[in-house]
Structure 1
């Protein structure tokens, strides 16, 4: 690789988005500097279910990366894998329907993979270091200066870094987005999530989703008899994140005390030291993703309610598509601007010194990502609303909908347009 021939990209934020993008850029001949507030891999967080589209994005980001994630996580739906069945339940444990990952690799090209977020982050950190990404730990973005010919990023310590492009991948409260768009805070969606890890109930070894009044308990198998779970409950903004984790966990245990024993023992058996608590936010994805030499990706562009399990998937897709657009060898992406400005023209972007070429590449990226991400943000928000209804009437309506959509059919087929995503084609490098 010859990074000086292509340019230097500054990536604000070293979460899943930033690390994946750094890896993708290095494998395409760019220099990449990733700033991360923590000094190393983040041990916090719950689990993730990486759907087939997310695993395909990993495969497009760098050779062998999807295989490393599959080996580190718990695949389901792979060729020759044991049968999988995740139940939809009410709080009494009554079966409403189910979903299976069986055949996903044959149908969509990859299986689903369940993995702890900390494990994924550590794996991406290692892969980034192996690829030659400059990992600037202990730093966070404060502000930037776009000089037209280059961009400067000022860190929270006052350090100034210079690059040809800045990618804001600094999460839901992105400092880069605040300066780029100035469109206010993300929107609280009315519920708080408590996440933990524990043993799987014998009746539901592959996991389940259980619905109560104003509370949803989701669980997915991690392998070895363990699962990660998320209990999301209606609550005023900021109440539970300000309190000790043990208090939030105790509240979940209290609210599920009348549930079926197999369900209530999931949070009841958790160690508070292994739990995390956070409020749930999203944003309408912007029409403008970039200006000049600055662009957004991941949660900085489109934080979403986790109910579709696509937050990490959309971040990994962003990394794959943005890297392809900047490489300039993409053959399957539109040149429309999704309403954001004047369309570009076809042609390679040989390096990042060509300002007009960079802006065309960023428009291609936004045009590819915008419609898809907006749809998934809306769907995720709707599922969050439906899942957390409290009135008896709405609970009964939700129950009828779940039975109709998940019993006796292929509930996974409803997500075919999400899982069936394919990375942009690239010419041989």
Structure 2
């Protein structure tokens, strides 16, 4: 009698969960998706950035063409500092496209979900209104119980259910971890909330052009505006009055979000354009606390959590969805090799536990680098602290081209699916900027970045600004 097919239960029909489904389809691995909501695609007012490191993986899966047709690449970024008379223009988005063959582009989150959902051939594998109540596992397999009394069985459970992940909390329960105020005691220092964000979408704003990006840095807040096809995506990220924990983070009503925006309608976006021009054309908006987290333990036994459930970042770097896509990529690469080695033999509990622990250990440093870079970027944009103010006023405007190697390296160092061909591999930036693995973590490189930034200020003061030395130091 043949063994039952190896099967994965995905909790969450998110960008993460649907990307995983596409990868499993390519691998020929059985799966079921459980989604607690009544629909896959809902209008929530959110947009999502797809960077080259996420875009090339979507391209491997045959999904990028639809995304590309629906979006407009960002071209130049006009950045304004609190000093109203000081601004500079960065060609970073344009350079990203020339370097990697993929642009920086935004679209509505629901639009990306539609692309991912439409690409699933067998939609009977997706089950809606399936809120998870509890998970159990043993030597024979895993079972996921849902609110309607159904039980779904598989070999691995993957939590792709976001920041408030039920899968993660079930994993903590099975580990015997004490949970205090919604977070495992051992992870309590690994999540905090220091910023909020109003995000919205406006239609028909003639003052802003497709591909135009404006970054307005203020003392304690940042306004982002991105023009696309017939719409404008915008965010207002604001530093909170103190650092909150998960359980006591502020929650905002629609009325509070509207009042927040009304109070800022006179804020200048660019010459002749105020925030009111965007706000009065708003189609949808929302206001949320921005959790920042990097949990250390992602798996236990047959259960593993990925995406926002284990690493959540602010929106400033635009890498949240891309980092989740990378999680899927690394997990599926390991899974492919693992199943090829097992052939027809059913993997044991211990073997699966070892596989998922290895995934956690090997991918955590990459996720840590992205989360920490996002954390720094958010504070630089909001002018939090003297070093951040020095960086934006004296370093980036004059030495930005020489300091682009670090963010380009962050993109170039992302993983790819090792079982599917690359579509745009000929672009030189992927190899040129790829960062070799190092024992030095993100903290080391961020410290180095700040140190060299201060050195750059000294260079400006002493007239070294045009020295070839900066061109040679393209390491940041």
Query: Is 2:266–2:274's contact at 8 Å kept on the other side of the alignment?
Result: no
Structure 2 residue 445 is the aligned partner of structure 1 residue 417: no
Structure 2 residue 315 is the aligned partner of structure 1 residue 306: yes
Query: Is 2:27–2:336's contact at 8 Å kept on the other side of the alignment?
Result: yes
Alignment match, 1:318: 327
Alignment match, 2:290: 280
CA distance in 2 between counterparts of 1:358 and 1:93 reads 59
**SS at 2:45's partner residue?**
coil
Alignment match, 1:223: 229
**SS at 2:94's partner residue?**
coil
CA distance in 1 between counterparts of 2:397 and 2:15 reads 31
CA distance in 1 between counterparts of 2:293 and 2:360 reads 16
CA distance in 1 between counterparts of 2:70 and 2:362 reads 30
Deviation of the 1:217 alpha carbon: 0.4
Alignment match, 1:7: 6
Compared CA separation, residues 203 and 12, structure 1 to 2 (3 A): closer
Alignment match, 1:339: none
CA distance in 2 between counterparts of 1:285 and 1:266 reads 40
Output aligned runs, 1:166-177, within 5 Å: 166-177=157-168
Output aligned runs, 1:185-334, within 5 Å: 185=183, 187-198=191-202, 199=205, 201-202=207-208, 206-224=212-230, 226-235=231-240, 241-243=251-253, 245-255=254-264, 257-259=266-268, 261-265=272-276, 267-271=278-282, 274-286=284-296, 288-328=297-337
Query: Is 2:252–2:287's contact at 8 Å kept on the other side of the alignment?
Result: no
Deviation of the 1:416 alpha carbon: 1.6
- Larger mean CA deviation between 174-183 and 184-193 belongs to 184-193
Deviation of the 1:214 alpha carbon: 1.8
User: How big is each residue's C-alpha offset from its partner over 1:148-188, in whole Å with a ceiling of 9 and x where there is no partner?
Assistant: 22100011333211111100111111111112134643734
2:382 counterpart (388, 402, 411): 388
Q: How many equivalent pairs are there? A: 391
- Larger mean CA deviation between 407-416 and 310-319 belongs to 407-416
CA distance in 1 between counterparts of 2:264 and 2:15 reads 32
Compared CA separation, residues 204 and 140, structure 1 to 2 (3 A): same
Compared CA separation, residues 56 and 70, structure 1 to 2 (3 A): same
**Which structure is richer in relative contact order (CA contacts within 8 A, separation 6 or more)?**
1
Query: Is 2:220–2:239's contact at 8 Å kept on the other side of the alignment?
Result: yes
Q: Which has the larger radius of gyration?
A: 2
CA distance in 2 between counterparts of 1:270 and 1:352 reads 59
**SS at 1:154's partner residue?**
strand
Output aligned runs, 1:3-402, within 5 Å: 6-40=5-39, 41-60=41-60, 62=61, 64-76=62-74, 84-91=75-82, 92=84, 94-128=86-120, 130-131=121-122, 134-181=125-172, 182=177, 184-185=182-183, 187-198=191-202, 199=205, 201-202=207-208, 206-224=212-230, 226-235=231-240, 241-243=251-253, 245-255=254-264, 257-259=266-268, 261-265=272-276, 267-271=278-282, 274-286=284-296, 288-328=297-337, 348-350=341-343, 353-355=346-348, 356-389=350-383, 394=385, 398-402=388-392
Compared CA separation, residues 280 and 361, structure 1 to 2 (3 A): same
- Structure 2, unaligned runs of 5 or more: 184-189, 422-476
**SS at 1:328's partner residue?**
helix
Query: Is 2:47–2:107's contact at 8 Å kept on the other side of the alignment?
Result: yes
RMSD over equivalenced CA pairs, Å: 2.9
Compared CA separation, residues 57 and 363, structure 1 to 2 (3 A): farther
CA distance in 1 between counterparts of 2:354 and 2:194 reads 38
User: How big is each residue's C-alpha offset from its partner over 1:355-412, in whole Å with a ceiling of 9 and x where there is no partner?
Assistant: 244334323422332101012112212223333356xxx4x75443114124453364
CA distance in 2 between counterparts of 1:365 and 1:197 reads 37
CA distance in 2 between counterparts of 1:172 and 1:352 reads 35
Compared CA separation, residues 302 and 239, structure 1 to 2 (3 A): closer
CA distance in 2 between counterparts of 1:88 and 1:274 reads 25
Compared CA separation, residues 349 and 222, structure 1 to 2 (3 A): farther
Deviation of the 1:215 alpha carbon: 1.7
Query: Is 1:50–1:114's contact at 8 Å kept on the other side of the alignment?
Result: yes
CA distance in 2 between counterparts of 1:65 and 1:258 reads 38
Compared CA separation, residues 413 and 266, structure 1 to 2 (3 A): farther
CA distance in 2 between counterparts of 1:149 and 1:200 reads 60
- Larger mean CA deviation between 67-76 and 170-179 belongs to 67-76
- Larger mean CA deviation between 117-126 and 234-243 belongs to 234-243
